[in-house]
Structure 1
Amino acid sequence: MRILVFGATGSQQFNIIAEGVKKGAEVIAATSSKNSFEKLKQAGATPILANLSDPDRMLEITKGIDAIAFMIPVSLPNPFDGLQYAKNVIDAAKTNGVKKLIWNTSGWLESQKIGSPMDDVKLDVKEYLINSGIDYVIIEPTIYMENMMGPFCAPFITNEQKLAYPIPEAMQIGWIASRDVSAFVVEAIYNSALKAESFKISGLENLKGNDLAEQFSRGVEEKIVYYPQQPKEFGDILKPMVGEAGAESVALYYESLQKATEYPSKFNPKMDEILEKLPVKMTSLEQWAKENKNYFIKS
């Protein structure tokens, strides 16, 4: 099995390398920078230089590939470029007879367009993929535990014993580890019965803010309290990484949550049904925090 992975230098797709190697796959990781080559090699992948904006290069690198693990790059300066990037990969996969494409959507898809370019373009990608004729599986994860490692959260844990996140305390979330998402992607590749499927996946615990802090505290063996961060504070910290427009867009989303009387669902109570088709050993929040304790707690 030859698996081509896009986005493997980032936390969302990086673990696909190890999960694929475990199954005996040859993993090829596409990256736009040679600076990532060493990291990808050490993880067990063969790195290749490629840019999603180049359709000819997509045709070259998808030759002889059995499956593709794809995602649209996060925080594109122009979110609508994501559709063209996806088309370049899907068209190349179809031309070269790739057996299956697994798309990690980096969040649950909306049921209809909501006026947010970042979300709306994903619905166009979904339609294009479904109509492509390629076998596919769409993996829609909830919020990643790894988000807590970001500069808007981790320093608060380290310096102030506060778990900062711009979500109201009362909102429940089924946080999921990126390693688990990668395992779902690889299981979907190897399950030949899945040819046109979409799975909304979440962690197995539906946690409010204080529950999240409690589980995290158990993992790191330190008392950490939940801090519902103001969206503007979050956006200001995010700005240097994603630019002003990107940060403002994300902050506006979290602002809408602060004002909401009913929160969107971020938990799938029927995960047991998905786990029957895609057997993945799930990671609890406490376990994840324990594994990453040294990242947050400086002795």
Structure 2
Amino acid sequence: MKIAVTSTSGKLGASIVRHLIDEIGKEQVIGIARTPEKATYLGVEIIKGDYNNKQDFDVALKGVDAVLLVSGMDEPQKRIIQHRNVIEAAKNNGVKKIVYTSIIGAEENNAFSPIVQTNRQTEKDIRNSGLKWVIGRNGIYIEPDLEYLDTYIKEGEIRNCASDGKCTYTSREELGYAYAKMLLEDKHNGNTYNLVGEGISQTELAESINKVYTTNLVYNSVSVKDYAIERKSDLGEFMGTIIAGIYEGIKNGANDVPSDFEKAAGRSHKSALEMVKTFKSMNTLF
């Protein structure tokens, strides 16, 4: 069985490849990347695949039994067409199964909603493709908070507009494990899963980080408006708007959803504390 994973130059795609290798070995896994040289370290065959170029995928998906489509990172309206390029190439090449990394979140009422809407459209496209399918709706990754830790330590705080809202954090490692199972096990076909962990507040996130890294972080909430201004100043209009929208969604409960992780992965999701410990063991920067 040959399985292809798109966006393997990214961290989620790479995690899925590593977990698939653990399950079925390197020979059965193909990585697809817009810049192949960025993914060769994974030790599997890497083929060029740009979401904007359907011809790339007509080549990359030849002889493939199942494909894992990692949601693109482009502007919302471009994503729908990009994802369709992969879906159409999968159909044309006789791929039997497609698994998609979607996201949880509110379809309206915050600045992240346009991203959620385009993911829902791709979900519809996949359900209507005629292929066997599984859809995972990813929770918010915990890793970006941990990768940002030096800044949090400098400032002595975690600051955003989530207020007391609960966020069901996951990690790329947890997702990689679940998606490998979803690709390989037929019992998941036709299911849409919320791939999330337990719901925790930002204060609880700070407490977990403090326990593992012996830091003294506190959580401070700011208004949605002030946080959006701050993020746009740091990250630019597009990414700043998205990040502020994510935390606004957390504040409003959009990310506190029931978890289907155990159904998908066959084991319970790691706690926030366990995810922080795993991250630290894999990234001994601090």
Work out whether the TM-score is over 0.5.
yes
Matches of 1:220 and 1:282, distance apart in 2:
21
Matches within 5 A, 1:179-218: 179-203=173-197, 205-218=198-211
Shift of 1:43: 2.4
Code of the residue aligned with 1:43 in structure 2: it is L
Q: Is the 8 A contact 2:7 2:34 kept in 1?
A: no
Q: Is the 8 A contact 1:16 1:186 kept in 2?
A: yes
Q: Is the 8 A contact 2:9 2:36 kept in 1?
A: no
Matches of 1:9 and 1:56, distance apart in 2:
19
CA RMSD of aligned residues (A): 2.6
Shift of 1:218: 1.2
Q: Which residue of 2 aligns with 1:30?
A: 32
Matches of 2:201 and 2:33, distance apart in 1:
37
Q: Which residue of 1 aligns with 2:275?
A: 288
Shift of 1:109: 5.3
Matches of 2:263 and 2:248, distance apart in 1:
37
Structure 1 residues 165 and 6: CA distance shift in structure 2, 3 A: farther
Shift of 1:145: 0.6
Matches of 2:280 and 2:180, distance apart in 1:
27
Q: Is the 8 A contact 1:235 1:247 kept in 2?
A: yes
* Structure 2 gap segments, 5+ residues each: none
2:221 to 221, 228, 247: 228
Q: Which residue of 1 aligns with 2:79?
A: 82
More helix by share: 2
Structure 1 residues 21 and 100: CA distance shift in structure 2, 3 A: same
Matches of 1:163 and 1:297, distance apart in 2:
19
Matches of 1:144 and 1:251, distance apart in 2:
15
Bigger mean CA deviation after superposition, 171-180 or 221-230: 221-230
Q: Which residue of 1 aligns with 2:6?
A: 6
Q: Is the 8 A contact 2:166 2:199 kept in 1?
A: yes
Matches of 2:60 and 2:280, distance apart in 1:
39
Shift of 1:30: 1.2
Matches within 5 A, 1:88-107: 88-105=85-102, 107=103
Matched residues, percent identical? Answer: 19
For this pair of structures, how many residues does the alignment match?
278
SS at 2:199 equivalent = coil
Matches of 1:141 and 1:121, distance apart in 2:
14
SS at 1:48 equivalent = strand
Q: Is the 8 A contact 1:157 1:296 kept in 2?
A: no
Matches of 2:257 and 2:141, distance apart in 1:
12
Shift of 1:149: 3.9
Q: Is the 8 A contact 1:8 1:14 kept in 2?
A: yes
Bigger mean CA deviation after superposition, 170-179 or 9-18: 9-18
Matches of 1:15 and 1:165, distance apart in 2:
28
Does residue 263 of the first structure (1) align with residue 242 of the second (2)? Answer: no
Matches of 1:33 and 1:297, distance apart in 2:
27
Matches of 1:14 and 1:124, distance apart in 2:
25
Q: Return the TM-score normalized by structure 2.
A: 0.86
SS at 2:13 equivalent = coil
Does residue 68 of the first structure (1) align with residue 67 of the second (2)? Answer: yes
Structure 1 residues 200 and 253: CA distance shift in structure 2, 3 A: closer
Question: Residues 267-297 of structure 1: CA distance to partner in whole angstroms, max 9, x if unpaired?
Answer: 32x54xx514531453322222233348597
Shift of 1:216: 1.6
Structure 1 residues 110 and 51: CA distance shift in structure 2, 3 A: same
Shift of 1:257: 6.2
Q: Which residue of 1 aligns with 2:144?
A: 147
Matches of 1:225 and 1:208, distance apart in 2:
12
Q: Is the 8 A contact 2:29 2:44 kept in 1?
A: yes
Q: Return the TM-score normalized by structure 1.
A: 0.82
Matches of 2:188 and 2:120, distance apart in 1:
21
Shift of 1:188: 0.6
